Amino acid sequence: MRSEDAAAGLNSAQRLHLLCSSQHADKLLAEVESILFASKSKSAFRKYKSSLSPAQIKVVEDYVARIRTQMVRVLESQGIPLPEPEFESVHSIRVTLAFIRIAFQECTPERMRGYGDVLEASVRELNGLVDEMVSAVEKLDSYLARGLGQDWEARLNRLAEAGADVGLVKTLERIVNGHGFVEFRPTVSMIVDRLESKSFEIALFGRVSSGKSSLLNYVVQADILPVGVNPITAVPTRLIYGDAPRLTVWYADRNAERTDLARLPEFVSERHNPGNYQHVTRIVVELPSARLRDGIVFVDTPGLGSLATSGAAETLAYLPRCDLGVVLIDAGSTLTEDDLATIRTLYEAGIPASVLLSKSDLLAPEDRLRSLAYISEQMRSQLALAISIHPVSIRASHSSLLETWLREAILPLYESHQQLAQESLARKIGSLREGVVTALKLRLDRASEAGDAAVDRGSIDLSEVEAGLRKAVGRIAEVRQLTFETTHAIRGQGDQGLAEAANSLTDAWLRGAGDTSALANTLVSDVLVRFAAEQASAVSAALKDLARELAQTLQATSEALGFAQVHPAEDLFSAIKEMPRLDPGELRLNTRPGVLLKINRGLSVRHTGNVLRRQIGARVSEAFSNLGSMLDAWARHTLSELHLRFETHADAYRAHLNRMSRGGRVSSAEQAALVRDLASLGEFQ
């Protein structure tokens, strides 16, 4: 019977039922295949043992293929077309990853208590376990979130056809893929991106309010970047050439948005985007500026209070793309450890630096020369670097200083930036090569061992080493809770601060210090600032203790695995910047020692406290509330930096622990492949 006649014999509901039954049968056949290859499955929780010989498996496979073919022919005979695939695989995988993330988040100590009391000794490791798994899932999700276009081999082939020298990168990409070194994938992706890009990136670094945004506005000749003393979120803003002004914002949890340039402060300022609650991952500003032509890109980075130096996520995410670092030192302040740490970080990352003394109009010519000499001497003595320092200012009266710097240090890059970019990329490729060589050698060490479940490195217990990393991450959760409780309490301590101020002011009057309003304003302001700092010191102390514990864990793990000394303490401690301080504003008190001062000190203190609350209570309460909010954002960001700096090392250690703890011997073929790959990278010659 012809297919159209057969179709005429089935109504629409019957045809749909036949199609659904076939789809269900196909799903069941897929289950048969999973059972068939259970012994080869990589699942951690296999259900089935293999009881079929290879020949029998082949017969079953052939039958499954025949059933599927026959099923398609049956549907065709009834005039029922096969439906097209409905879902994008990437979207479906990311949705599934979201459920995996939720599954592990349901295993935190708080949620596990529904199944019985969680022993206090287990809380930290349980928190670390959850964080470890969620972090692993999020790394895969982040990789997928970048979209398709990750076919590195095809992209490298296109670059090779265009004349680019990509031989070493292709070798590294093949080794990373072939051995499953997923920890190197982000770096490979970045390098391929840079090979495809013709840009030369100049990034500005400096403390909050050091003048970065104002200087960049001057350079591109447009008032684009928000200027002020408010902290900026940890999202570098890239300024590139475009035919028309345009702003593009990328997010971690939704599609990119192209919007009006006037909205830029909504994404980069702490005021509008506190703690980066909008989950912004990248910001690009396009401008028709002559100084952005020829592939030159300027980048406005967060202030040093927010910027991560080597090892933290923001640095690792951005620094590999930086070709020249411009470090601004505020002439109105002084050289700090943060400034020196930034310059050191740039050079350690293989990135040349240019140092500017910003706001130089604040200094007289002779003071400016002394300041330049002092900074130069400090860089020589503490960093062993001889770097020219350029005084700059955006003030019209001193703009010649900035124009001189642009003419002498920046404009020549317009001609040589391609060569400089290639040199910068070569350094990054060299760093990747060293990491891959280390991973290959460790894998080869494992291949030459006896094949025991535990690796004999001084009789260490690998599970104990891994548990140490997990507990360290769990400690972060404890400190996060502590800092939240402390900063939340500070928001409501304005009244207590006024009580301390009333007590100190009364004592000053009793000592005969004077009864002027100026004295009261200064003393009360100082007491409030000191009291707030004392309350906030618990947050700083907890973060420093955490950094010390994390550094000790990383060092112990490095030594246990036989890695080169990493000395992570400096990297971790440099993440803890100066805390926000209370700003009570300008006080205008009108208070004098009253008659109660001569009668009873306690009554005088209470009276003075009431006066202070009446005159400045609302302002002080608001100041403490603002301080608590700023401290919370600062602590959360610092914890995030500490966590990500820790993970930079720990993730590589976990990958090696996983390889080292695998049971059974490495096959001779794999061992030979390791030797070949090391040889291809110039080892064993």
- Does a structural domain hold residue 83? no
Q: Which helix (H) or strand (E) holds 249?
A: strand 246-251
State the Cα–Cα distance between residues 146 and 156, nearest whole angstrom.
Answer: 18
> How is residue 468 written in tokens?
């140490």
Do 538 and 643 lie in one domain? The reply is yes
Parallel, antiparallel or unpaired: strands 353-358 and 296-303: unpaired
- Does a structural domain hold residue 222? yes
Q: What is the pLDDT of residue 548?
A: 92
Which phi and psi (to 5°) does residue 255 adopt? Answer: -70, 155
Q: What is the pLDDT of residue 591?
A: 75
Do 352 and 379 lie in one domain? The reply is yes
Spacing of C-alpha 311 from chain mean position = 9
Do 144 and 232 lie in one domain? The reply is no
State the Cα–Cα distance between residues 511 and 322, nearest whole angstrom.
Answer: 59
State the Cα–Cα distance between residues 173 and 661, nearest whole angstrom.
Answer: 25
Find, among 83, 673, 643, the residue nearest to 308 by Cα.
643
Could you say which of 411, 441, 469 is where a domain stops?
A: 411
Spacing of C-alpha 140 from chain mean position = 15
Do 136 and 73 lie in one domain? The reply is no
> How is residue 236 written in tokens?
């570098």
Buried b vs exposed e over 617-654: b needs ≥16 C-beta within 10 Å? Answer: beebbebbeebbbbbbbbbbbbbbbbbbbbbbbbbbbb
Do 129 and 209 lie in one domain? The reply is no
Which phi and psi (to 5°) does residue 201 adopt? Answer: -100, 125
Do 481 and 602 lie in one domain? The reply is yes
Do 353 and 379 lie in one domain? The reply is yes
Could you say which of 411, 429, 444 is where a domain stops?
A: 411
Q: Which helix (H) or strand (E) holds 626?
A: helix 601-660
Q: What is the pLDDT of residue 147?
A: 52
Q: What is the pLDDT of residue 309?
A: 33
Do 508 and 585 lie in one domain? The reply is yes
* CATH code, 300: 3.40.50.300
State the Cα–Cα distance between residues 14 and 22, nearest whole angstrom.
Answer: 12
Sequence-ordered strand ranges (E) for 28-145: none
What tens digit of pLDDT does each residue of 136-172 get?
Answer: 787 777 667 655 445 667 777 777 765 667 888 888 8
Asked whether the beta carbons of 194 and 177 are under 8 A apart, the reply is no
Do 19 and 128 lie in one domain? The reply is no
End-to-end Cα separation, the chain, in angstroms: 73
Sheet containing 257-259, strands listed edge to edge, beginning at the edge strand earlier in sequence: 257-259, 246-251, 280-287, 237-241, 296-303, 200-206, 324-330, 353-358, 389-391
Domain encompassing residue 389: 199-236+291-411
Do 356 and 501 lie in one domain? The reply is no
- Does a structural domain hold residue 558? yes
Residue numbers of the chain with a pLDDT score lower than 50: 1-7, 148-149, 229-231, 304-317, 450-458, 663-664
Please tell me the total count of domains within the chain.
4
- Does a structural domain hold residue 264? no
User: What are the residue ranges of helices labelled H in 149-295?
Assistant: 152-161, 167-179, 185-196, 212-220, 265-268
Spacing of C-alpha 318 from chain mean position = 9
- Does a structural domain hold residue 275? no
Asked whether the beta carbons of 354 and 390 are under 8 A apart, the reply is yes
Do 222 and 361 lie in one domain? The reply is yes
Q: What is the pLDDT of residue 539?
A: 92
Catalogue the long-range contacts made by 663-670 (C-beta closer than 8 Å, 24 or more residues apart). 663/451, 663/453, 664/451, 665/447, 665/451, 666/443, 666/446, 666/447, 670/447
Q: Residue 537 in 3-state DSSP?
A: helix
Do 591 and 646 lie in one domain? The reply is yes
Q: What is the pLDDT of residue 446?
A: 62
Residue with tokens 């599934």: 96
- The Cα-based distances of 114 to 103, 107, 128 in angstroms read 15, 10, 19
- Does a structural domain hold residue 481? yes
Q: Which DSSP state fits 229?
A: S
Q: Which DSSP state fits 232?
A: B
- Does a structural domain hold residue 446? no
Residue with tokens 């959360």: 636
Buried b vs exposed e over 51-70: b needs ≥16 C-beta within 10 Å? Answer: eeeeeeeeeeeeebeeeeee
Asked whether the beta carbons of 604 and 674 are under 8 A apart, the reply is no
pTM for the complete prediction?
Answer: 0.55
Burial tier of 580 (Cβ tally within 10 Å: 0-12, 13-18, 19+): buried
- Does a structural domain hold residue 357? yes
Find, among 578, 584, 582, 580, the residue nearest to 615 by Cα.
584
Cα angle value 140/142/146 (rounded, 5°): 120
Q: What is the pLDDT of residue 46?
A: 74
